[in-house]
Structure 1
C-alpha cells in the first residue's frame, strides 16, 4: 500500500542539533525557523506526497485523461495504462506485450466472478489512492483479484487482515471458505492460522452453517490430526454425521441416483473417526444410528475394531496396524472430557501477586483400553502465570555448605507432576495445554502446546516454560483489547483459563499426524 505520510521537513544529514522547522511561509515559499547561522547551505527535503497522491486519485475520481476502459460484468471503468502497469505485473504484461491482443485495444473485457465484479471499482481505486475498505465479506474477493493480477502489496494487506480476524471469520461463517482458498493458492500463513482455529475449536466451528461447506478431502485431512480438540471421539463422530446429513440433502437435490456418491463420502470421512477411542457403551449405541443401518457393512467393521481394542484381541489389532494409517485408530486426540482433562481457572487475575502459583490435583485413566481396568494416575498441576521466584537457599555438600542465590524467571510456567506413576513402573502420556482467550468478541482456544513425555520414579515433573508471552499475558492497562491481554476471559476480562489434557500413549499409538493438505 502507498504509505500515508504526514507533511514534514527533514534537516540535512550530519547536523543533529537542528530544530524541527515550522510550517511558515514568506512570499509563498516555506521557510524554517532555524537561525541562518545553523543553515548555511539552505538545503531541505520537502515531503508533499499527500498532495501528489491526491492529484493521482483525482485522475480516477474525475475520469480524466484515461486511455483505456476496463469492462467488468457490464460496468465500465475508465483507467490509465500507466497506473495499471505500475500497480500490477499482470496488467503490465497484458497491456505492454504486443503478443497480447489487449495491448492494442482501448476497451478490455475482464471475466470476474460475481463477488469480485461487485468490488472491482474499489480494487481499481486502490491503484490510485492506496486505500481500500475490507471486511470479513469483501476480503476474499479483494484477495482473489489481488492474486489474479499479482498486486503484491494488496495481497499482503489481505493476508495480514485475515490472520488477525480468524475468530471473526468463524463467527460470520467465512472461516471454511478462507481455509480452503488459502490452502488451494498456497497462502500458508493464513491456511495454518485457519487450520489451527478449526482443530482447536472443532465443535464451535461445527455449530456454524459454514461447517457444511467443507470439501470432503479437506475435512478428511483434518480428521487425521492428533491435536484436534474435542470433548470425546463420540462428539467428533456427531459433528461428521451433521456434515454428512448436509451432503445427503445437497446431492439429493442434484441427482436422484446419488447413493453411490453418498457411500463414497461416508467412507472417505468416517474412516478417520477413531472408533477404538470410543467406550464400549458408545460403540453399542452406534448400532441404533440410522447411518449404521444404512451402511451396515462399513460401520460394523469399524465398531468391531473398537471392540477388539477394548477386549485386547492382539491378532485383530495387529491386522489394523499393518493397514495405512492404522496406528492413528489407537491414538488419542486432545479430549476435554473429565476422564482425561481438567480446567484450571485463575480468577481475578490482575490482583494475583507476582510469583504466586495456582495448584490443582486431578486423576486420569492410565489406559485407553477397557480390558486394562479402572486404574488411574494422579497429577499435580502448578501454574505460575506471573513468573517464578527461587529463593536463596543453602546446599549442604561433602565439602561444606554452598549458598545458592535467589533467582527470578520472567516466564509463564506450567508444571505437571505425576504423583504416582503406578500401577506401571512408568507412564508414557501425551500432555496437552489448551489456553483460552478472546479475539473479535469470540472466546475460544487460542493456543495449544502438546508434548509426549514418559514419567517415572526418577522423572516425575514436566515443565512448560514460556507457555505464553509473559508481557502479553501481564499487559498493563491501556494495551491490547480493552486494556487486557487477549488470554483473559470472562465478563470483566479477568480470568485465565487453562485446560490440561493427559492421555496415555501405548505402543500402538502414533506420535505424529499426517501432513495436513487438500489433495
Structure 2
C-alpha cells in the first residue's frame, strides 16, 4: 500500500490577472504545516497543496528495469558486456549521456553504443548503471574510486557526492598514508575535488614532519606539482616543528635537480610559493637565516613585503598587533607547531560540545626566566555557555605553575576563520600564587547565540578555532 501523501508548506497567493504577475512580491502568504487541516485552507486554490508519494517505492519499482530488455531502447557495450538501458533514465541522470544520445551525436541513432572504460571501471560499471535507476549503490574500499571515476566522466553529480562523502568518512582515514597520497590525493587534485583534497591533506598533515623531512617520503615530496604543494602550504592543520622547517622543504622542492623545467621557472614558482609561507610565525633568528640564503639574495624583491610584515609582527606588542589589520591575514594564522613557543592553536568540534560544559586545553610556552624553564598554562573554554545564570561564551586563562614571583603577561586570544582572524581580545595580567586566572572577556566580542546559529561565521566546518599568543612584559 502506498504511503499517505505528505502535506508540506505552501505559499498560497491570490489569483491575479496575468498582467499583474510582476507584483507577486506584495501578495499575501499563507503557510500550511503538517498540523494544518485541509479544511482550514482554501482547497479551491489554483495551485493546490503539494502532496508527495513514496519516492523510495517508486525508485524500487524503477530498479526492475535495470539491464532489462523490457522497453529498452539502447544497448550499452562495456568491456564486451552488454547492458539493456533506457535513454530516458540515462539522460535525466547525466548530461554527458544526453549529449551522446542527442541528434547532434554521430551515434545517436544507433541501438547499440560501445563505451570505452578503464579495466577497473569495467568491473564496477553494473553498479554505476544500476545507481542511475535506483539511486542506491554498495561501496567498499576497492570499488569507490572506480565508481567515482565513472561518476566524474558522465557527470552524475549525486553519485559523485555519495562517493566523495563515503571516501572522506570511511576510506581515507583508514588507509596507509602512502595509499592516501598516491590514490586519493593524486586523483582529488587532478580533478579538483576540494572535499577529497581537504580530507587527504588533513590525514597527511598529522605526519607532516615525516612527509617533508624523511628519506622515505623524499620522492613523493619533490614530485608534487606546484598546485599540490600549495594545497599543503595553505593548510593550517599541518603538524610541523615550525614554519622554518616548512620553508626549507619548499626550497628543496623549488631547487630539485630532478626537475629542470621547474628550475627554468624558478622565479615564477618562487613568487607563488612565497605567498603561502607564514614568515611572521618564524623567529627573528630564522628570518635572518633566510635573508642570507642564495635563493633570497637572487630574488630580494619577492621577499620585501613578507619580511617587513614579519619584522613588524615581532616588533609590536600584542596590543599593537591587535590594532593592525595586516595581522589578520593568512600569514598570521598559526599551524599546529610542535616546538616550544609563545603561541598555541586550538581546534574544538563545536557540535560535540555540551551546554555549560568546559573544554580544557593545556599547553606549555617558553619562559622568560633563566635558567630556561617551561611555563604551563590551561585555557578553559565554555563554547555553549558558562552556566545557567551566565549564558556566555567564556575563555579563561589559567597559570598551572606554582609561582615564587609574579609573572606579568600580555595575552592575545583570537577566533580564527578559514583564511583570517575574525575577532581578537587582548589584555595584561600579573599571575601569582593567589591570582592565577585571567578572564579574556571573549564573551564581549562573540555570543553563544552567534556561535550556535546555522552557518555561523565563527565556525570552520563545525570547528571553533582559537589561537592564543602570550608575551612577558616588564
Q: Give the structure-2-normalised TM-score.
A: 0.54
Instruction: Note the C-alpha offset of 1:66.
Output: 5.6
Q: Partner of 1:56: helix, strand, or coil? A: coil
**Residues 121 and 241 of structure 1: CA distance in aligned 2, closer, same or farther (over 3 Å):** farther
Q: Does 1:333 align with 2:314?
A: no
Instruction: Note the C-alpha offset of 1:125.
Output: 3.6
| 2:389 aligns with one of 380, 400, 407 | 407
User: Which residue is 1:94 aligned to?
Assistant: 100
User: Which residue is 1:108 aligned to?
Assistant: 113
User: Which residue is 2:468 aligned to?
Assistant: 502
**Residues 364 and 105 of structure 1: CA distance in aligned 2, closer, same or farther (over 3 Å):** same
Q: Does 1:219 align with 2:201?
A: no
**Residues 224 and 50 of structure 1: CA distance in aligned 2, closer, same or farther (over 3 Å):** closer
User: Which residue is 2:246 aligned to?
Assistant: 236
Q: Partner of 1:134: helix, strand, or coil? A: coil
User: Which residue is 1:444 aligned to?
Assistant: none
Q: Does 1:383 align with 2:393?
A: no
Contact 1:275–1:283 (8 Å) recurs in 2: yes
User: Which residue is 2:22 aligned to?
Assistant: none
Q: What do the CA deviations read for 1:170-224 (whole angstroms, capped 9, x no partner)?
A: 8363368656766776755555655666678754765768656643034336535
Q: Aligned partners of 2:161, 2:363: CA distance in 1, in Å? A: 46
| 2:173 aligns with one of 167, 172, 182 | 167
Q: Aligned partners of 2:279, 2:361: CA distance in 1, in Å? A: 34
Q: Does 1:123 align with 2:128?
A: yes
Contact 2:147–2:163 (8 Å) recurs in 1: yes
Instruction: Note the C-alpha offset of 1:412.
Output: 8.8
Kindly report which structure 2 residues correspond to 1:60-99, keeping only aligned pairs within 5 A, or say none: 67-72=73-78, 75-82=80-87, 83-95=89-101, 97-99=102-104
Instruction: Note the C-alpha offset of 1:161.
Output: 1.9
Q: Give the structure-1-normalised TM-score.
A: 0.50
Contact 1:336–1:501 (8 Å) recurs in 2: no
Kindly report which structure 2 residues correspond to 1:141-290, keeping only aligned pairs within 5 A, or say none: 141-165=146-170, 166-168=172-174, 171=177, 173-174=179-180, 202-203=208-209, 214-220=224-230, 222-223=232-233, 230-241=240-251, 243-244=253-254, 248-249=257-258, 251=259, 259-261=263-265, 265=269, 268-269=272-273, 272-275=276-279, 277-279=281-283, 281-282=285-286
Contact 2:254–2:262 (8 Å) recurs in 1: no
Instruction: Note the C-alpha offset of 1:300.
Output: 8.0
Q: Aligned partners of 2:314, 2:60: CA distance in 1, in Å? A: 79
Q: Partner of 2:107: helix, strand, or coil? A: helix
Contact 2:411–2:427 (8 Å) recurs in 1: yes
Q: Partner of 2:65: helix, strand, or coil? A: helix
Q: Aligned partners of 1:504, 1:204: CA distance in 2, in Å? A: 29
Instruction: Note the C-alpha offset of 1:109.
Output: 3.6
**Residues 259 and 191 of structure 1: CA distance in aligned 2, closer, same or farther (over 3 Å):** closer
User: Which residue is 2:44 aligned to?
Assistant: none
User: Which residue is 2:424 aligned to?
Assistant: 453
Q: Aligned partners of 1:179, 1:454: CA distance in 2, in Å? A: 38
Higher share in strand: 1
Q: Aligned partners of 2:221, 2:76: CA distance in 1, in Å? A: 37
**Residues 285 and 272 of structure 1: CA distance in aligned 2, closer, same or farther (over 3 Å):** same
Q: Aligned partners of 1:98, 1:81: CA distance in 2, in Å? A: 16
Unaligned runs of 5+ in 2: 8-53, 316-325, 348-355, 401-405, 430-437, 453-461
Q: Aligned partners of 1:228, 1:333: CA distance in 2, in Å? A: 10
Contact 2:60–2:134 (8 Å) recurs in 1: no
Deviates more, 1:269-278 or 1:302-311: 302-311
Q: Aligned partners of 1:327, 1:199: CA distance in 2, in Å? A: 23
Q: What do the CA deviations read for 1:396-437 (whole angstroms, capped 9, x no partner)?
A: xxxxxxxxxx6275x9964347999968xx65565679xxxx
Contact 2:342–2:366 (8 Å) recurs in 1: yes
Q: Aligned partners of 2:95, 2:223: CA distance in 1, in Å? A: 33
> How many residues are paired up?
375
Q: Aligned partners of 1:414, 1:68: CA distance in 2, in Å? A: 65
**Residues 504 and 414 of structure 1: CA distance in aligned 2, closer, same or farther (over 3 Å):** closer
Q: Partner of 1:108: helix, strand, or coil? A: strand
Contact 1:146–1:152 (8 Å) recurs in 2: yes
Instruction: Note the C-alpha offset of 1:326.
Output: 12
Contact 1:276–1:329 (8 Å) recurs in 2: no
Q: Partner of 1:119: helix, strand, or coil? A: helix
Whose relative contact order is higher, 1 or 2, with alpha carbons under 8 Å and at least 6 apart?
A: 1
Contact 1:200–1:448 (8 Å) recurs in 2: no
Contact 1:421–1:427 (8 Å) recurs in 2: no
Q: Partner of 2:128: helix, strand, or coil? A: helix
Instruction: Note the C-alpha offset of 1:233.
Output: 1.0
Unaligned runs of 5+ in 1: 1-7, 15-44, 315-324, 346-353, 367-373, 391-405, 434-446, 471-486, 488-497, 506-519
User: Which residue is 2:25 aligned to?
Assistant: none
